[in-house]
Amino acid sequence: MNYFFLITTIILLSSCKTNVEVENTTSQKETNMKLIYIMDPQCGWCYGNEKSIASIYENFNHTIPLEIITGGMWLGNNAPRGGAQFENFIKTHSPRMEQVTGANVSPKFYELTKDTSYVFGSYEACLAINAVKKIAPSQTYYFSKKVQEAQFVDGKKYDDINTYTSILSQLSIPKKEFIEYWTSEENKNQTQKDFQFAGQYANGFPSLLIENNGEIQALQNGFFQAMPMIQKIHELLQDSYPIVEGKIIRKQFKNKGGKEPEGVYDYYFEMKEETKFIKTVSGTGGMAKKELESYLDKKIKAKVIFNSGSLDSDPTLDYPVQSRGGDYVIIYKIINE
């Protein structure tokens, strides 16, 4: 087992911390940008970064595509085998990742590290993620997330096809197509291209990049906090956000039990042809309720983001909130009254 490679990898990963015209339409402007997230299924810091990348995905998936690229961190002879030595290695390095990211590695994973029959290689899981990218591209992010949870939470093995078929069932991805494509030559070739791309652009795992008209810029190498990254991406995308006229109004909030808590309101953006719920949770990077108060019942021009999904969830928080879903708008910036 190549422990020099392992030590080098951990050091690298641990150190990675880069005149207004009103639109006549409420649709988002087209953009040639896309986000590229380079991760590896065996990378503990990628597992720890899940909360942050979930926040990025929830905020921007209707605005800019997110492509998952697999990195190939542990391949061939560089892939460690389970046993006492590897167990001690993981127990030495995982606590820092857990402390920094807030993620939890389960006892089942630690138990797996003792298994001398299991080689902790990246290849099979990278092939699996790329197979889903081919046959069910809209599910790639969710699948990659669940693949990491399968090992770090449930203690499952990446060289066992049952690890993936159970996830396929959860996401309604056709098993037959996956099994046929998983280890095909086409998928192996594409996965190798991923590894080459990662080798060129990733200075550690995870890495988040943005591509604009063919030019690639690194946003972050290594673990990142969600909010600073959300704000950075908004700054890069804001020229594509439509400027819309409308009026901010508020309505009494009613919970699922039909109760109306005193002083609790929902905010809406009333436009010419439609009215949309304003999502104001802090994890969006948009304006909060307090910032909107001074604009209530006034006509404004604002840069906005149209999206759909949970109206209340905030991936940057550690506790659940009321789950309502539907179309919503984020008020990114008010141009003038």
How does pLDDT run across 117-167, given as a tens digit for each residue? 999 999 999 999 999 999 999 999 999 999 999 999 999 999 999 999 999
Closest CA to 139 of 148, 152, 130: 130
Whether 33 contacts 116, CB under 8 Å: no
Q: Looking at the structure, tell me whether residues 207 and 226 fall in a common domain.
A: yes
One domain, residues 144 and 256? no
Q: What is the domain count for the chain?
A: 2
Residues 21 and 147 in one domain: yes
CATH number at residue 186: 3.40.30.10
| Domain identity same for 114 and 182 | yes
Question: Within this chain, do residues 161 and 220 fall inside the same structural domain, yes or no?
Answer: yes
166 and 37 within one domain: yes
Say whether both 15 and 96 belong to one domain: yes
User: What is residue 286's predicted lDDT score, i.e. its pLDDT?
Assistant: 92
pLDDT at 274 over 70: yes
* Residue 296 sits in the same domain as residue 172: no
The model's pTM is: 0.85
Last residue of a domain, one of 202, 237, 272: 237
Domain ranges, residue 116 = 3-237
Mean pLDDT lowest for which of 2-11, 14-23, 131-140? 14-23
Closest CA to 84 of 160, 151, 1: 1
Q: Are residues 221 and 308 in the same domain?
A: no
> What spatial distance separates the first Cα and last Cα of the chain, rounded to whole Å?
65
* CA–CA gap between residue 199 and residue 177 (Å, rounded): 29
pLDDT band at 314 (very low <50, low <70, confident <90, very high): low
Statement: residue 316 has pLDDT above 80: no
Letter string b/e over residues 19-32, b meaning 16 or more CB atoms within 10 A of that residue's CB: eeeeeeebebeebe
Would you state the pLDDT for residue 254?
Answer: 85
Identify whether residues 261 and 150 lie together within a single domain. Answer: no
Tokens of 19: 């005149």
Residues 232 and 251 in one domain: no
Chain segment 50-70, per-residue pLDDT in tens: 999 999 998 998 889 999 999
Measured N-to-C along each axis, helices 123-135 and 175-182 cross at an angle, to the nearest 10 degrees, of 130
Give the containing element (helix H, strand E) for 190: helix 185-201
Instruction: Among 180, 211, 237, give the residue marking a domain's end.
Output: 237
Residue 252 and residue 200 in one domain: no
Judge contact between 195 and 212, C-beta under 8 A.
no
**Between residues 137 and 309, the one the model is more confident about:** 137
Domain endpoint, select from 179, 203, 237? 237
